[in-house]
A and B are shown apart, each in its own frame.
Chain A
């Protein structure tokens, strides 16, 4: 993985004071979140569907080797070449070799987070192969030299004004005095430019939302139709997917498809969902002459073997980040990792190492909204907590934080001491803040009170009030 999350705190501060970013993120709650809510309400049995989906993903992972072999056999029978890559480096070499053998000079790409994970574009460009992103959001980010800040809405951190400025800066062959009255004008300009690229590309690279074992098909889900043009027009189609994307049957894929778009964008189904099975057939008038499928591990088998296995259920809808109060406040770039938000916090330490990404599992209030909306019920809070425990037990936690946790544990494990300490603290803070109702400073709480006041406590602890009300000891 090319990037780490070591500068998380500085990123957060920058994100919170970035007014353009805050404006862009402000639309999340009324947009993707509200649309998902409406889509879920339109389905009477959404919860039953989540249970089914979880069960499908769990059972597939339980017997993943069989499903991968079935997929390989059926994909090969349909004429696809299946390649296996343990590491990012191996996947990059395989793809570069395919492109070079096909004498490809221009490669177009559908949106693929796995290709971000292996930093594919830079590798192809370094070998002299021009690589162009075709998803509009990804295209804009490529112009800007940025990473996606969201797995399904990669340019969600940008405003329309940002995009206009980028297009004016890069599309210099177009009249300087052209006007952009609406987002549609920007889309039209990009469409015109991208058309030429689509038509002249030698190879197309896409990811896969699912790999269907029983048919050997790769499935892509898009709204723009760019993925379909990418896998239809060029001579060579290359699919890059990680091994956990396999689904045994079409019927099981249908269940996951029912959840994917609704969870992601609140659509019943995206505009285009495509099952591709092998290259062009004998009498086909269009389609690629060759189809290659690269199955990548890149840490998945380690995840499968350990306590973070559930993270592999993910179908990459992005609902967890849309609903995360931390993501909503700081956006995706602050995480400085390929995958942001709760799923990123649970996955990144496994891919990039905990030392480099130890701040990410800490960046959660554990409010649990992510788990509530996850279509495959990944226990994201539990997974993040497991990373925190590992952080502590392997000594990565800074000394001061360790000391605080030790003191806390000492006190919390001794009920009488705990009650005495909290009584004292609540009484002192209550007396101090009685006049105003809030406190501007709290001992050891400088970081907290720097940006806000602490509401003053009552003066008595919950346990005191409970006793006073004459309630017994709860059983």
Chain B
């Protein structure tokens, strides 16, 4: 059986090295940044990748902001989001004329809204996790992907972000899908020119909601 063949061949080729195994402390020894430095780094990197970042004073402003971006992109006034209670409970009546439905993305959906669990400053990356209330398809099928991020959920490094979504640090179990998103879909496959909107979203918008609680996220 191939399993045994492969594993015994691998074992036979086993090396013992004198070097000490490196596990902990793998994270870059970055000087820790202040929360305002983290925020600046995060926004600067995302904007350099063509992502629009807007500050909102509270979650209640999300529906109206989403409507503005959908209108600006000249898309039909329809929005798809998950069953995430933090999103379904928003004051949707403040976005008059916007039709919004909960569930996985359909091929006809042109705009979607998801919630990021973390924002990663070192690379300007959003971390989204799939789950019952958070469909993966929202991030890939529509033309316009709007992501809400609580400002308190900004972290400095990728390691911190990944560790924070593990259910248990001893035997970490991840959500089915962790999506690290650093910009809209793009390709350089035709003549080396950068073109947006290859297969996924043409545009990525981040709505950064100011935290009610200070230092409450970690």
Contacts and interface: CB of A to CB of B under 8 A. Distances in A.
A52 B25 CA distance: 11
A302 B12 CA distance: 10
B213 interface: no
- Tell me the interface secondary structure of chain B in the complex: loop
B195 A183 contact: yes
Contacts of A255: 26
Nearest to A249: B23
Residue of B19, B29, B123, B157 with most partner-chain A CB within 10 A: B123
A74 B170 CA distance: 13
Interface stretch (B56-64, B69-77, B93-101, B174-182): B174-182
A275 B6 contact: no
B3 interface: yes
Contact of B26 (A85, A160, A217, A251): A251
B152 to A, nearest CB: 22
Interface string B109-145: 0000000000000111100001110011101110000
B28 A49 contact: yes
Interface string A228-246: 1100110000000001000
Contact of B178 (A232, A243, A275): A275
B216 interface: no
A184 to B, nearest CB: 5
Interface in A251-307: 251-255, 257-258, 265, 267-287, 295, 297, 301-302, 304-305
B32 interface: no
Contacts of B23: 249, 251
B35 interface: no
A228 B200 contact: yes
B217 interface: no
Residue of A64, A252, A270, A272 with most partner-chain B CB within 10 A: A272
Residue of B11, B82, B159 with most partner-chain A CB within 10 A: B159
A187 B130 contact: no
Contacts of A153: 188-189, 192
Residue of B10, B132, B180, B190 with most partner-chain A CB within 10 A: B190
Contact of B200 (A214, A224, A250): A224
B182 A267 contact: yes
A339 B171 CA distance: 36
A329 interface: no
Contacts of A257: 158
B86 interface: no
Nearest to A228: B140
Contact of A273 (B10, B82, B180, B190): B180
B79 to A, nearest CB: 16
B133 to A, nearest CB: 8
A287 B177 contact: yes
B28 A45 contact: yes
A68 interface: yes
Interface string B26-67: 111100000000000000010001000000000000000000
Residue of B16, B163, B176 with most partner-chain A CB within 10 A: B176
A135 B131 CA distance: 26
A59 B17 contact: yes
A186 B130 CA distance: 32
B14 A62 contact: yes
B177 to A, nearest CB: 6
Nearest to B138: A286
Contacts of A281: 131-132, 176
B190 A186 contact: yes
Contacts of B190: 136, 140, 155, 158, 160, 163, 183, 186-187
Nearest to A58: B17
A284 B132 contact: yes
Given A191-B199, A251-B23, A280-B176, A90 B2 contact: yes
Contact of A287 (B21, B130, B171): B130
Contacts of A160: 190-191, 193
B18 to A, nearest CB: 11
Interface residues of B, number: 80
A187 B192 CA distance: 12
Nearest to B189: A137
B199 A134 contact: yes
A250 B172 contact: yes
A268 B7 contact: no
Nearest to B181: A272
A159 interface: yes
A214 B171 contact: yes
B162 interface: yes
Contacts of B2: 84-86, 90, 297
B176 A287 contact: yes
A340 B13 CA distance: 27
Contacts of A229: 140-141, 199-200
B175 A277 contact: yes
Interface of B: 1-3, 5-7, 9-17, 19, 21-23, 26-29, 45, 49, 82-83, 103-105, 107, 122-125, 130-132, 135-137, 139-141, 157-159, 162-163, 166, 171-193, 195-201
Given A137-B187, A163-B191, 16 more contacts: A24-B191, A48-B28, A58-B17, A63-B14, A68-B6, A90-B2, A136-B189, A226-B198, A226-B199, A226-B200, A254-B159, A267-B49, A274-B178, A276-B177, A284-B130, A301-B13
12 contacts: A24-B191, A56-B22, A59-B17, A86-B2, A153-B189, A158-B190, A182-B193, A191-B197, A251-B23, A255-B26, A269-B180, A271-B49
